[in-house]
Amino acid sequence: MIIGYARVSTDEQETHLQIDALKEAGCERIFQEKMSGVSRDRPELERLLDQARHGDTIIVWKLDRLGRSVKQLIKTVETLDHAGVQLKSLTENIIDTTSPSGRLVFGVFAVMAEFERDMLRERTMAGLVAARKRGRVGGKPRSLDAGKIKKARVMLDSGQYNKTEVAQELGVSRHTLWRSLKRADNAA
């Protein structure tokens, strides 16, 4: 089955141009929505991905209809590829996973996205090492000091707060709160 996906970012915009082009391309079914590409919650795209089956081809007007970032686009295409679904862009003829050259081009994009992720991870790790050398340690506190443990006990004993609320008040996770209280009990 040939399935189309059309998206515009705002209610003021219309999908008419995309819909006409998708119909002309032979789409038997077209999913459309008015939602920003930045939004991760795109119900019609999710429905399309759920309903697409092995051997289907999804056609879009432009690749940016599927996602705002290369990372988001790669993830969507990988999902399609694992399901045996092809992708074709009407305006970017270079992207057509139904052909060997189109798969090659998309493979290059995927490698570039992976390279970008690796570089980001490398820069992050280098930044953390540099911060540690300067004596800075990131993240939330791993345990609570005696004063905060006392405050936590008062709040919990009052019955007005649950552990989640107390942890939020103290700026730690529930697990850290629980562990700190248990450690204090064992030390007493």
Catalytic residue numbers read 9
Classify 32 as helix, strand or coil: strand
Greatest distance between any 2 Cα atoms in the chain? 76
CA-CA-CA-CA dihedral for 180, 166, 170, 184, to nearest 10 = -20
* Residue listed under structure tokens 């850290």: 176
3-state helix, strand, coil in the chain (%, to 5): 55, 10, 35
CA torsion sign, 165 to 168 to 172 to 173?
positive
Q: DSSP state, 188? A: -
Question: Per the structure block, which two tokens stand in for 132?
Answer: 């540690």
Residue 25 burial (C-beta neighbours within 10 Å; 0-12, 13-18, 19+): middle
Token code pair at residue 162: 């649950």
